[in-house]
Amino acid sequence: MEVLKSKTLKISEEKDLLNIRGLIREYAGEIGLPEIYKVKLLTATSEIARNVLKYAVSGRMTIRILSDIYKGIEVICEDNGKGIADVDSAMKKGFSTSGSLGLGLPGAKSLVHVFHIDSKLSVGTRVRLIVWRK
Amino acid sequence: MKSATVDLIKRDEQKILDEWLNVLKQSNIYNFQISDEPELYNEIKNFLTELSDVLTPNTFDVNSPEFIPLKKMVVEIAQKNTALGFSAKESALYIFSLKNILFNLLLEEYENDALVLVKEIKILSKIIDELGTIIFDTFVADREEIIKRQRQELLEASTPIINIWDGILGVPIIGTIDSVRAQQIMDTLLNAINDTGFDVAIIDISGVSTLDTVTAQHILKTAAAAKLMGATCIISGISPNIAQTIINLDIDLGQTITKGSMSEAIKTALEIIGRKTKKNILEYGKNTSAEDRKSIVNLNTD
Amino acid sequence: MEKIPVLKIGNLLLISIQTDIYDSQGLQLQDDIANLLQRHSFRGVILDISSLSIVDSFMGKIINNIASISLVMGAETVVSGMQPAVAITLVELGLEMPNVKTTLSLEKAIQFFNEKFNRETDQDGSSQE
């Protein structure tokens, strides 16, 4: 797997979210990602970024163009927040500790081809998404 | 292989080529035309030259690198023949017909030395057989490529969107649906709804042989997405078998409209769009001026 | 931060969301609509999202909230022009919009309310006869 392009952006306030969306749109355009995959990736990224703003306050997001059998876009989101106590529960639809719809993480997972989550209490959370241009 | 044999092939090149060309011309497989002759002659000449070049006294290992150009040549010939519509057998005969000619040549030359004759025939036979199998391999590979391509084409052609009526779209689904195809059907249909602005889409699954949970999920998701866009999806062609499956698998149809036959579905679809247009015109006809009516009609035909 | 404009047309509220919006703008919109519905008797809310390319769960929640608030205050909400990719994404996300009526275009949303109001007027008329 080869990384063709990579850029890291911070997330600490709402307007960073729009910058991240902008960069994903740019990369998606470069590899000719179909509209539906682009919208799914943008939505999944929004869900993840929103979690950072809500629970960890700040973090960073690395967006990369990958080249393997297919081209794809990878989004890695890292924060130094308090971490998720129960990752398995957090991945279930309808589970929320904040009164939201509880669709964020499980929803994001069903929107992308690859979804990994690692979280350690009081260390932080790392989420990795990939959408391939199949 | 003895160098004498190689020399022999080189010496009698013209004779071999003439005979070989003759055999090919006479065989039924070549729908031979005079205009093809120079091309065919060149082809077999190149082949024979290449063959006699690799046949050195010590080489009879077909897997050695020296054989690569010759193998390539065979692959090209096989591909060309496949493109012309030859069967695998017909293409193989092209190479095997050379065997006989060369054997006759060896038979004449080593008339008095049976042991050498057998040895030389054995080596030559091995080489030509090996080249013959390449023909088969190439043929099979070509066919597989065609099958793959056709499968892709079938996939693309398999979701025609039909304008059943002004305001009603139809998608007949035939065969089995894997998730790739389901995704494609979903995309195509929803985009068609968006482009046409039609209010009703009928997904007909009479041609679907088996309905599993995944497939059903995909169809229901399409219906749900269409509803979010503001259109109504009707699923038609639910056979008794599929109805049983739906019950057995405990698939939740939600609020999706389902109909047994396409005609039932069309009836319902007409009711839906009819209700929208007719009432509208009637109601406006009652209380509004002619000019208002015109603008409403424009709205409807939009 | 810029407010999303809410247009008042007869007894309808019309909101057209043109670009990605901030969360705070969404929440503000929710409040604005609630206030307008309280002060005047609007009968319907049309949310045109035909230019919106992403609706995530937060935005979806705002739309659902607007619909629920409207319903409580006697108005119906119609979301018009949702893009196919957005619709698929919402379905995959598992987000449902039970109180929301949807139409393919803004025109059809207006047509829907026209029909509805006319039907009601007719019914009122006939009951008086």
Q: What's domain B162-276's architecture?
A: 2-Layer Sandwich (3.30)
Interface of C with B in 65-94 (CB under 8 A): 79-84, 86-88, 90-92
Contact C104 B284 (CB under 8 A): no
pLDDT of residue B281: 47
Nearest CA in chain C to A16: C22
Nearest CA in chain C to A37: C85
pLDDT of residue A99: 59
| pLDDT tens-digit map of A98-107 | 656 666 788 8
Answer left, alpha or beta for residue A19, where phi above 0 means left and psi between -120 and 50 means alpha. alpha
pLDDT of residue B297: 44
Interface test with B, best of C108, C110, C112, C119 (most B CBs within 10 A): C108
Contact B221 C104 (CB under 8 A): no
Nearest chain A Cα distance for residue C122, angstroms: 41
Bridge-based pairing state of the strands B257-258 and C7-9: unpaired
Interface of C with B in 34-63 (CB under 8 A): none
pLDDT of residue B174: 81
Segments in chain B below pLDDT 70: 1, 28-35, 57-60, 155-158, 275-302
CATH fold of A2-132: Heat Shock Protein 90 (3.30.565)
B192 contacts: CB under 8 Å, gap ≥ 6: B161, B169, B198, B201
pLDDT of residue B157: 64
| pLDDT tens-digit map of A2-56 | 899 999 999 998 888 889 999 999 999 999 999 999 999 999 999 999 888 888 8
Q: What percent of chain A has pLDDT over 70?
A: 95
Q: What is the ipTM of this complex?
A: 0.88
Give the C-alpha separation, B224 to A10, whole Å: 36
| pLDDT tens-digit map of A49-82 | 988 888 888 899 999 999 988 899 999 999 988 8
Angle among Cα C39, C117, C126 to the nearest 5 degrees reads 120
Interface test with B, best of C90, C91, C96 (most B CBs within 10 A): C91
Contact C90 B228 (CB under 8 A): yes
CATH fold of B3-155: Globin-like (1.10.490)
Segments in chain C below pLDDT 70: 1, 125-129
Interface of C with A in 13-52 (CB under 8 A): 20, 22-24
Listed by start position, the domains of chain B span: 3-155, 162-276
- C95: nearest CB among A21, A46, A101: A101
Angle among Cα B180, B182, B187 to the nearest 5 degrees reads 95
Listed by start position, the domains of chain C span: 7-128
Q: Mind giving me the DSSP string for chain A?
A: -EEEEEEEEEESSHHHHHHHHHHHHHHHHHHT--HHHHHHHHHHHHHHHHHIIIIIS-EEEEEEEEESSSEEEEEEEEE-S---S-HHHHTSTT--SSSS-S-HHHHHHHHSSEEEEEEETTTEEEEEEEEE--
- B228: nearest CB among C82, C105, C111: C82
Chain A residues close to C84, C-beta within 8 Å: 36
Contact B230 C102 (CB under 8 A): yes
pLDDT of residue C123: 75
What is C7-128's CATH number, 3.40.50.1110, 2.40.320.10, 3.40.50.300, 3.30.750.24? 3.30.750.24
Nearest chain A Cα distance for residue C91, angstroms: 10
Nearest CA in chain B to C112: B276
pLDDT of residue A41: 95
Nearest CA in chain A to C86: A39
pLDDT of residue B63: 75
C62 touches A at CB < 8 Å: no
pLDDT of residue B302: 38
- B225: nearest CB among C80, C88, C103: C88
